[in-house]
Amino acid sequence: MWPFRKNKIDNNLKVIIEEIQKQLNDADGNIRAETVYSLAIPPRSHVVPSEIRVKMMIFVLRNDDYVIARSDAAKAILRWASELRQLSAFGDSSLLLLHDKEVTIIVPALIESLSDAGTVPSYAAEALGQVGSKAVSAVPALIHLLDSKDIILQLDASKALKMITGEDLGQDSFKWQDWWDKNKSSVS
């Protein structure tokens, strides 16, 4: 059920992870939501390795039937990515390596979440922006969001596109699509 191998984890950590899993499977959606958000604690301040926490956040983002839990999972990934981005800006290269390893599983999950309900797409767009240029595969989906009826979602998509591409074309989906058509081969 969970996307990691327990046999590679020491016993104390295994107990902690099992308790987190129990909370993530609780019948009360609010407990699941609070638990998944707690996984976003800054990378070096949590006893559970970042790779495992990211996989748990993605599991909830993709599978929970409670939209608030999915929203909190997207918000947790946003917080995690933002923390890594800030720490990386201060020269912690070990975090850059960790980030590279986990981006390959985070970006596809966030792209899928752009079509979810509630606040999930906005948090997913913001998180993709925090991932930066490594989330370039999200550009077409983010351009599509610029035509949303939700003004906040449009703004979040526009900000994410700017952070990913370094370009600032506002909220005009036609300008973005034209830019993407001309530049996708050089930025992909």
- The fraction of the chain above a pLDDT of 70, given in percent, is 85
- Average of per-residue pLDDT across 57-68: 96
pLDDT band at 78 (very low <50, low <70, confident <90, very high): very high
Angstrom distance (rounded) from CA 103 to CA 109: 10
Angstrom distance (rounded) from CA 23 to CA 36: 9
Lowest mean pLDDT among 56-60, 96-100, 152-156: 96-100
Question: Domains along the chain?
Answer: 8-187 (1.25.10.10)
Lowest mean pLDDT among 15-24, 26-35, 98-107: 98-107
Nearest to 132 by CA among 105, 181, 99: 99
Predicted confidence (pLDDT) per residue in 112-145, tens digit: 999 999 999 999 999 999 998 889 999 999 999 9
